[in-house]
Structure 1
Amino acid sequence: MTTDQPIPVIIDCDTGIDDALALLFAVRHPGLDLRAITCVAGNTDVDGVVRNTLTVLEQAGAPDVPVARGAERPLLEPLRTARHVHGHDGMGDLGLPAPTRTAADVDAVTLLRREILASPRPVTLIPTAPLTNIALLLRTHPEVVRNIERIVFMGGAVAAGNATPVAEFNVWHDPEAAAILLTAGVPITMYGLDVFQRVVVPGADVRRLRASAEPGARLAGELLAHRGPVVDESDPGGGLGDAGAVCAVADPQGLTTHRLPVEVNLAAGPARGQTIVDRRRRPGESEIHDGTREQPLVDVALDVAVERYVKLYLTAVEGP
């Protein structure tokens, strides 16, 4: 990808506090060409996700980016939202005005296909949500893979989960969709909880954003203040969360990845939705006795340059 042209990207989201932070960055970073946004149920119901997405674009003064409504629920599971984290409206219950923008008159899968195939250069997909829309796209229109550069998804975990002790929310919410994603046949980067939880904006920067006269920057500050976590008790900061995955597209050198086999546990029980990342250097007894199974290779994020991404984010969101 040449550095003198913006990277064409499409974000699939469940806006969501940190999805909103990701959208604010994507529309303001000069190195990204945000071609479309598709919405899926997750942090809140899909209609709330559409409303929140349009609100963020309006507050940010974004150009007219097409936004489409997608799946109302996972492929097999019932809808299980995260309103206990993101508030009743999914956006921290900040009391933001209803948007005047409207969604596109096509569904998410149709918009994804149209925008991917119409792009003059291969698109980078950035799902920051359960992967239902992406799985439906790949199964319905497999021809799109010829014009996808890479999929950088926020999801999964090498170590601990958050929805369960071992499963991260986006993958846990629709494990079958995540398993389909891993067989997409394009390069994939997994921006999981191992790095997701580390990129925290210091409290002083959050307070500066909240005091800004510019609506987009001020919204970023309010979202970060709601988001947490706390760096220390005297200086509460805000985690970038999903926005880190978009930072990783704009500046991949800030992310340390290893190409590793990954599979999703689809079995019922406490480990359902776990991303099983094989970090062993040699086969174990299971492979020796039962034979090796072909597993998708994924660029798994294991480390992140925290200060670099914080600076990257603030520069873009507070920029002209």
Structure 2
Amino acid sequence: MQPIILDTDPGIDDAAALSVAINNPELDVRLVTTVAGNVTVDKTTINALKIISFFGKAAQIPVAAGAEQPLIKPFEDAARIHGESGMRGYDFPAPTTAPLNQTAVVALKERLLASSEPVTLVATGSYTNVALLLSEYPEIKPKIARIVAMGGTLGQGNMTSAAEFNVFTDPHAAKIMYQAGVPIVMIGLDVTHKALLTYDTLQAIETANPAGKMLHDIIISDGDQGATGVAMHDVNTIFYLLHPELLTMKSYWIDIVTDGPANGATVADVRGAYHDGKVNAEVAVDIDAAAFNRWFLAEVRHMHH
């Protein structure tokens, strides 16, 4: 089993990623922390609790609420994509549990220090909590096996022409994370815009079971839909954890732009011109989209509501 911690901002695709992670027997989800991103942190926290409660895992998986706003940059949400609640489309019961009585950063520090083995940190929102953790408690770095981060792009952004949403939300946090000396896997738009969940897959999960119906209903209300399918950005991180062989990776040094018209851009030193051959990230550049769809459907079929 891979021990993982999810730092997330549900959000529709985050909710789908969380659903897969907490139901997959190969992943040991030790903690879920929340951050402001798709919607405000009070809402992302409630949404994380709703998903964990939906699957009856509230007793096993603690949730800690994190940063209410980015480190420096003013906060801008994505409610226009995810709805006011962040998970429109399905009527969840109110969560039965409350978040931990400690901040995300303290919960992260304590869970990591208490772990006998390094833990993979999966970051699917803006990286504010991660940056605060790495800055305030650098002693936890050896306990982080790697950070698998949804965000960034080698090509065109989805928030501005240069920047992807998670990095754009808190570029200063992204810069701290990429400079921290912890192994990073960047799962960006280069693959997430390719691995769309097709409408055939969505139709199949709708009738699979109650979990599939819930996921179908929130995904189909996503504002990020194309002609051929819906981008499930954050789910790609979980796919990578379980099937790294189905993605193509390249090693790059990634720098983060923190001001000007390219604010939030992830700049790869593709020519190897600036960092003496050093790299700080494994970057996903291609993915088997058909396999992603087959895998997602299989994962949903195994979910117990």
After TM superposition, the score normalised by the length of structure 1 is 0.89
Of 36, 51, 71, 2:67 maps to: 71
| Residue segments in structure 2 that go unaligned for 5+ positions in a row | none
Distance 1:296 1:183, change over 3 A: farther
What is the aligned partner in structure 2 of residue 318 from structure 1?
Answer: 301
Coordinate RMSD, CA, aligned? 1.7
Paired residues of 1:132 and 1:174 also in contact (CA < 8 A): yes
Q: Pairwise mapping of residues 106-185 of structure 1 onto structure 2 (< 5 A)?
A: 106-185=102-181
| Residue segments in structure 1 that go unaligned for 5+ positions in a row | 1-5
Of 182, 185, 191, 1:186 maps to: 182
Q: Pairwise mapping of residues 172-251 of structure 1 onto structure 2 (< 5 A)?
A: 172-214=168-210, 216-227=211-222, 229-232=225-228, 237-251=229-243
> Per-residue CA shift, 1:127-185, capped at 9, x if unaligned?
00000000000011111111111111001110000110000111111111000001222
Residue 257 of structure 1 aligns to a residue whose secondary structure is: strand
Find the aligned partners of 1:124 and 1:219 in 2 and give their Cα distance. Answer: 27
> Per-residue CA shift, 1:238-284, capped at 9, x if unaligned?
332211111111221111111111100112x211110011212x53x
Find the aligned partners of 1:31 and 1:131 in 2 and give their Cα distance. Answer: 25
Structure 2 counterpart of 1:90, one-letter code: G
Find the aligned partners of 1:74 and 1:92 in 2 and give their Cα distance. Answer: 24
Matched, 1:258 2:254: no
Find the aligned partners of 1:299 and 1:84 in 2 and give their Cα distance. Answer: 31
Find the aligned partners of 1:206 and 1:222 in 2 and give their Cα distance. Answer: 9
What is the aligned partner in structure 2 of residue 62 from structure 1?
Answer: 57
Paired residues of 1:36 and 1:67 also in contact (CA < 8 A): yes
Number of residues paired by the alignment?
Answer: 301
Distance 1:131 1:165, change over 3 A: same
What is the aligned partner in structure 1 of residue 14 from structure 2?
Answer: 19
1:107 Cα deviation from its structure 2 partner: 0.8
Paired residues of 2:21 and 2:238 also in contact (CA < 8 A): yes
Percent identity over the alignment? 37
Bigger Cα Rg: 1
Find the aligned partners of 1:305 and 1:69 in 2 and give their Cα distance. Answer: 34
Moved more, 220-229 or 23-32: 220-229
Distance 1:295 1:168, change over 3 A: farther
1:210 Cα deviation from its structure 2 partner: 2.0
Find the aligned partners of 2:2 and 2:19 in 1 and give their Cα distance. Answer: 16
4+ runs deviating over 6 angstroms: none
1:187 Cα deviation from its structure 2 partner: 1.1
Find the aligned partners of 1:184 and 1:8 in 2 and give their Cα distance. Answer: 21
Structure 1 counterpart of 2:257, one-letter code: N
Matched, 1:308 2:291: yes
1:80 Cα deviation from its structure 2 partner: 0.7
Distance 1:61 1:205, change over 3 A: farther
Structure 1 counterpart of 2:99, one-letter code: A
Paired residues of 1:200 and 1:229 also in contact (CA < 8 A): no
Find the aligned partners of 2:276 and 2:80 in 1 and give their Cα distance. Answer: 39
Q: Pairwise mapping of residues 257-276 of structure 1 onto structure 2 (< 5 A)?
A: 257-267=249-259, 269-276=260-267
After TM superposition, the score normalised by the length of structure 2 is 0.93
1:220 Cα deviation from its structure 2 partner: 1.5
What is the aligned partner in structure 2 of residue 277 from structure 1?
Answer: 268
